[in-house]
Amino acid sequence: MGTALITGATSGIGLTFARTLARRGHDIVAVARDRDRLEIVATELRGYGVEVELISADLTDREQLAVVERRVRDQPVEILVNNAGFGVMQQFAGGDLDAEQRMLDVLVTAVMRLTHAALPGMIEMGSGAILNVSSIAGWITGGTYSASKAWVTVFSESLAIEIAGTGVHVTAVCPGFTHTEFHQRASMEVDTIPEWMWLDSQEVVDRALIDVRRGRPVSVAGRQYKAMSIAVQYLPRPLVRALGARRPGR
């Protein structure tokens, strides 16, 4: 079993990826900012009998991101999960521009640079998987967060075509509302989201790992979101824009 590097491995979807892949026998490189939480995760994952390496890095910081890039370039990994992320819920006009920039640094720049660093080693090995955690938000017009996730999905789909036949698979993972720390960290009001719209992170991760193995460029967990992913392709764009205007946290 090869090594999996997971960004944002201390909470939510990233932690579920780490637990699931460790249970399957993959050594784990866990990346996040909070060193104490990384240590707690490492202790748990070592219980599955795998090697665990920790990189405490803030992916908004180019020098710290470069440390992670070097890790995947110099010692190729079998699986890269670009998962770390957060939302900035504010009006763009007059909003905090540095906060927007930090979000793009993590959701777009880190995903692009880590993928670029990991790919040559994977292509040389003739196998590998890159899972880029995007969002259903990329289907609607929900501010810079949505725009970033649309980038992640289109980037992953494009790359999947570019590297077809190399043995390396790239999948954009598009979760809907998933129980994690995400909404609390973003101070999002989600009390009005109906229960049927919520996913469990294990459902998202299990679906993603099946889809990447099957070479599917986009992974959508849950019947409700699969139906929406089809519907949204046929909805008139003004209706999609209207949906974006009604998004939670706006």
What is each CA distance from 108 to 19, 61, 62, 73, 151, in whole angstroms? 25, 13, 13, 19, 7
Q: Say which residues have a Cβ less than 8 Å from residue 91's Cβ, sequence separation at least 6.
A: none
Out of 58, 100, 157, 206, the residue judged to bind ligand NAP by CB under 6 A: 58
Give least dist CB 115 to ligand NAP, A: 14
Q: Phi, psi (5° rounding) for residue 137?
A: -60, -25
Paired residues of 6 in beta bridges = 30, 81
Is there binding between residue 247 and ligand NAP (CB under 6 A)?
no
Cβ-based nearer residue to ligand NAP, 3 or 82:
82
145 is an active site residue: yes
Q: From the candidates 48, 145, 225, 234, which is the catalytic residue? A: 145
The amino acid occupying position 232 is: V
Cβ-based nearer residue to ligand NAP, 68 or 159:
68
Paired residues of 171 in beta bridges = 131
Out of 115, 146, 153, 180, the residue judged to bind ligand NAP by CB under 6 A: 180
Segment near ligand NAP (CB under 6 A); pick from 5-13, 17-25, 73-81, 234-242: 5-13
Give least dist CB 210 to ligand NAP, A: 18
> Residue with structure tokens 């209706």?
239
- For residue 140 the two structure tokens come to 């609607």
Is there binding between residue 135 and ligand NAP (CB under 6 A)?
yes
d(CA 140, CA 244): 5
- Residues in contact with ligand NAP by the rule CB under 6 A: 7-8, 10-14, 32-34, 37, 58-60, 83-86, 106, 133, 135, 175, 177-178, 180-182, 185
Catalytic residues: 145
